[in-house]
Structure 1
Amino acid sequence: MSLLRSEEIASRLSKLRAELPSTAQLVAVSKFHPADYVIKAYEAHQRIFGESRVQELVGKWEALHESYPDIAWHFIGPLQTNKVKYIAPFIAMIESVTSERLLREICRQADRVSGSSINNRRVIPVLLELHVAQEETKSGFSRDELFALLETIHRTPEEWQGVELRGLMAMASNTEDEAQIEREFAFVRSVFDEVRTSGLLLCPERFTELSMGMSGDYPIALRHGATLVRIGSAIFGDRL
């Protein structure tokens, strides 16, 4: 499979951006693609990139961070607690928090990075992943589990200083049934609005991100208020 030229990636990015409202940002999903593709997208003014494997992300960050320090890396895949330490120093956002245990480990690693410095305390922005898809293989909180966690955080705010809750993330079912996808994204939006007005958030004004929608369903996600859309194949093509 031949590599895409810079012009092709730039053209695809331009087309996608033209479809996005001013309230939404594009996360270019660069997983399984070479660092060279990240550079080509960067040169076309893309700054947010999504990765789902820790080893691949760390490799790209090590290769690119000196020359491209303003890249914002988002982690968007399943994350094991024992891998958090590798991305905690530099990750811009972890979108795929699926358990209280994982959130506590992110806090712990943020504190470790901060060390004894109060002025330079590391706070990692996170999204809580809501499970709405039909596939049981997809992870995330149920609505009730989500609110149980929010209540725990609300009761013990001192335990969560290493993270900032910025919003929700969700993946729709892998289906051709657009009505099903529509229902799922509508549910995510309703839970998002419910959380924002629940009184359980420590900083409700910062809970603004709704990450949903990928290459095959992002127009539906945008109709339901997505602020982050995670698009890979429509930019970079099939994985190499």
Structure 2
Amino acid sequence: MSIEKNISSNLSVIRDQIEDARQSSNMSSEEVCLVAVSKTKPVEAVMEAYEAGQRVFGENKVQEAQAKFTDLRAEKDDIELHLIGPLQTNKAKEAIQIFDVIQTLDRPKLVKALAKEVVKQDRQPKFYVQVNTGEEEQKAGVLPKELPELLDLCKSEGIIVSGLMCIPPVDEEPSLHFSFLRELAMKNGLGVISMGMSSDFELAVRFGATHVRVGSSIFGERDYP
């Protein structure tokens, strides 16, 4: 079976699963965006997904996104590219250049670095704040209690935040975190809720996700060196 058939059929199945989950819950969003996470996968795999109708992709690292998507987006201007991995402040310039959405805004220093580049480049991607819903020491994301202060800083710096994102702890029931993130988004008047990955995206949809980030279920297991 060719990679094209695999990716195309995988996308079809996942889209059906998203729609079934969306229709089965009164908390679900009216529309759910599938972000195809292409990290570690070659351009050829991205193109297979593109040919199957996928337009929204997610990458974890700025450098990998630049290498993979710079030329591709020059040819395919309808691709929307999301940063879904942690962002270092010294990569703010490149991140603003290439990404349409930055999902991992999580600290004041990063807010200020991105705000400077937004002005310099006259380019305003969409921004989501990553919330550390499990308050895990080793994980990126703003603590829930610090979210209002960070949102205020974003506003004062000219960063327009449209949503929230989370990655639940691997050893806890994800529905608790999905419900919590939805509550935080509603409380702060934010319409975008990015949550759910290959193992739990259907559950995330039922709890109100507007965006789900799915990688291995589309492209297969990742090819780490």
Equivalent residue number for residue 200 of structure 2: 217
Rg (Cα) greater in structure: 1
Q: Conserved in 2, the CA contact under 8 Å of 1:4 and 1:236?
A: no
Equivalent residue number for residue 12 of structure 1: 10
In structure 2, distance between residues paired with 1:151 and 1:56: 32
What SS does the corresponding residue of 2:81 show, helix, strand or coil? strand
Equivalent residue number for residue 238 of structure 1: 221
What SS does the corresponding residue of 2:75 show, helix, strand or coil? coil
In structure 1, distance between residues paired with 2:142 and 2:14: 30
What SS does the corresponding residue of 2:184 show, helix, strand or coil? helix
RMSD of aligned Cα (Å): 1.6
Measured at CA, do residues 65 and 151 of structure 1 come closer, stay the same or move farther in structure 2, by a change above 3 Å? Answer: closer
What SS does the corresponding residue of 2:74 show, helix, strand or coil? coil
Provide TM-score, normalisation by structure 1: 0.84
Equivalent residue number for residue 63 of structure 1: 71
Equivalent residue number for residue 177 of structure 2: 184
What SS does the corresponding residue of 1:171 show, helix, strand or coil? coil
Matched, 1:88 2:96: yes
Q: Conserved in 1, the CA contact under 8 Å of 2:197 and 2:212?
A: yes
Equivalent residue number for residue 173 of structure 1: 169
In structure 1, distance between residues paired with 2:2 and 2:92: 32
In structure 1, distance between residues paired with 2:151 and 2:42: 38
Q: Taking every aligned residue pair, what percent have the same amino acid on both sides? A: 36
What SS does the corresponding residue of 2:175 show, helix, strand or coil? helix
In structure 2, distance between residues paired with 1:153 and 1:28: 27
Provide TM-score, normalisation by structure 2: 0.89
In structure 1, distance between residues paired with 2:2 and 2:87: 29
Q: Conserved in 2, the CA contact under 8 Å of 1:131 and 1:170?
A: yes
Structure possessing the higher relative contact order (Cα contacts under 8 Å, 6 or more residues apart): 2
In structure 2, distance between residues paired with 1:91 and 1:84: 10
**Structure 2 unaligned blocks of 5 or more:** 23-29
Equivalent residue number for residue 74 of structure 1: 82
Matched, 1:42 2:43: no
Greater than 4 Å deviation, 4+ residue runs: none
Deviation at 1:64, TM superposition (A): 0.7
What SS does the corresponding residue of 2:54 show, helix, strand or coil? coil
Deviations 1:154-195 (A, max 9, x none): 5x3xx31xx3211000001113x5xx2111111111111111
What SS does the corresponding residue of 2:98 show, helix, strand or coil? coil
Residue 150 of structure 2 aligns with an amino acid whose one-letter code is: L
**Structure 1 unaligned blocks of 5 or more:** 115-121, 197-206
Deviations 1:30-59 (A, max 9, x none): 001111110000000000100001110000
